[in-house]
Structure 1
């Protein structure tokens, strides 16, 4: 009797926060892993942790997704037919605290390279072999910010939502599941790197990354196009559909003064 083949997931940004929780929860499910991040030392530490804890195979692939040559290495790994990737988790993050004109154009462009270009190119590389095999999946980590008028970060995440929804409907008949995960404030390094403190939002608005990822994987298993963990954020998104963007933007501008 043949055993069930081991599945492989590629996770970007797995050294902390949401990506780290994805790596652990997927390893717990028996996935072998390909981990992609800039910091090779932290990647190696996470790989050793996962191998020891779950007995899975872990491959590390150091890459800066804002660098096209390094991004190309990850695309090539996803395109390999003899070492298939069954699930791609586009989680790598990039955020800017300043408003649009407070940042130079190159920094803004670098953010879009990670949040948009990398998501597009990695999804493109993964989808082709997945569609050929008739199974596979992509989880694109977006944000509740996608539903709000909040500068280029929100615009990039709105693109991720639109792209994911389209791809989900386009490739569902070929056995591929695509989902956008839209978290709100989450207890990770992401906000710390932008010097945004926990006092920037009420305590009840902060999500635990393990809860968030567990909910996301359940939604993915059900074939949902969107995962919005937390009743508080489902309420926020429902309200954004009722309030005009102009009013939302005016309210947020008042909060920054």
Structure 2
């Protein structure tokens, strides 16, 4: 049975992906920082589906955490067919007012872990001749939401390049660029849900629906939601000074 490895699996988008793959009959490897939360989720998944749910406690802001997940991806006895890197990191403040160590943690989770997990997944999938990688970027990749935007822009650019590189190997790579999602992430970032209009929000399940549909169509990027997709396309063509001006006005919170 194929295995889906999901980071950030105990909440939000990662949790929605975990349930979706489990209900589709995939064994899952659940990755997150807190072992207790992972154990509860694994028990629930095994209770309501017929798959195996392995827990893999790992803090991706630490070298050991990244190495732990890479080693699991490398394990060819029960190989990774799908990698979903949904682990996030909320910074929530301007770069110069933040703690340097926290900026380093965010960089490791959102950039270094993305690169290294994708590298190991690509190597494993090339040996098997198939696979899929889903990386969570953000609409913030086109915005000016502090360091978070810079990290998510890297994830988007990297994923698009990797999608082209691996297409001939029958490995699909998808960058998901959601707008605000109804999860606890904004609470962690210190931003009120009222920072964005209600009609602009989507659910984690809507993100998963859009991602899996795009993956099946062979797309390399998807922005869930019609309005969000139009906005994302518009930000790509309007002068960057316009987005920066809006950001300075406070319409786009630091994430």
Correspondences of 1:21-100 after superposition (within 5 Å)? 21-100=16-95
Q: Give 3-state SS (helix, strand or coil) of 1:241's partner.
A: helix
- Secondary structure at 2:237 match in 1: coil
- Residue 179 of structure 1 corresponds to which residue in structure 2? 174
Q: Which runs of 4+ in 1 moved over 3 A?
A: none
Gaps of 5+ in 1: 1-5
Contact 2:142 2:149 in 1 (8 A): yes
Counterpart secondary structure, 1:118: helix
Query: Could you say which residue in structure 2 is the equivalent of 1:218?
Result: 213
- For residue 142 of structure 1, what is the aligned residue in structure 2? 137
* In 2: Cα distance, 1:144 partner to 1:124 partner: 24
> Is 1:14 the equivalent of 2:9?
yes
Superposed counterparts of 1:141-220, under 5 Å: 141-220=136-215
Once the two structures are TM-superposed, the CA of residue 149 in structure 1 deviates from its matched residue by 2.6
CA contact (8 A) 1:25 1:214 kept: no
Range with greater deviation from structure 2 (110-119 or 150-159): 150-159
Is there any run of 5+ residues in structure 2 with no aligned partner, and where?
none
Secondary structure at the residue paired with 1:187? coil
Shift of 1:243: 2.1
Q: Distance between the aligned counterparts of 1:208 and 1:223, measured in 2?
A: 23
Matched residue pairs, number? 252
CA–CA separation in structure 1 for the residues paired with 2:145 and 2:37: 32
Distance in 1 separating the partners of 2:32 and 2:242: 38
Structure 2 Cα separation of the partners of residues 208 and 119 of structure 1: 23
Normalised TM-score (structure 2): 0.96
Could you tell me whether the CA contact under 8 Å between 2:93 and 2:146 is conserved in 1?
Answer: no
Question: Does the 8 A contact of 2:207 with 2:224 survive in 1?
Answer: yes
Query: What corresponds to 1:240 in structure 2?
Result: 235
Distance 1:252 1:164 in 2: 25
One of 240, 246, 249 as aligned partner of 1:251: 246
TM-score normalised by L of structure 1: 0.95
Matched, 1:108 2:115: no
Instruction: Check the 8 A contact 1:184/1:207 in 2, yes or no.
Output: yes
CA distance in structure 2 between the aligned counterparts of 1:16 and 1:99, rounded to whole angstroms:
25
| 1:3 aligned residue | none
Any idea what the Cα deviations from partners look like across 1:189-237, whole Å, max 9, x if unmatched? 1111122121111100110111111111111111110011001111211
Equivalent of 2:224, from 225, 229, 236?
229
Quote the RMSD (CA, aligned, Å). Answer: 1.2
SS of corresponding position for 1:255: coil
Distance 2:60 2:73 in 1: 14
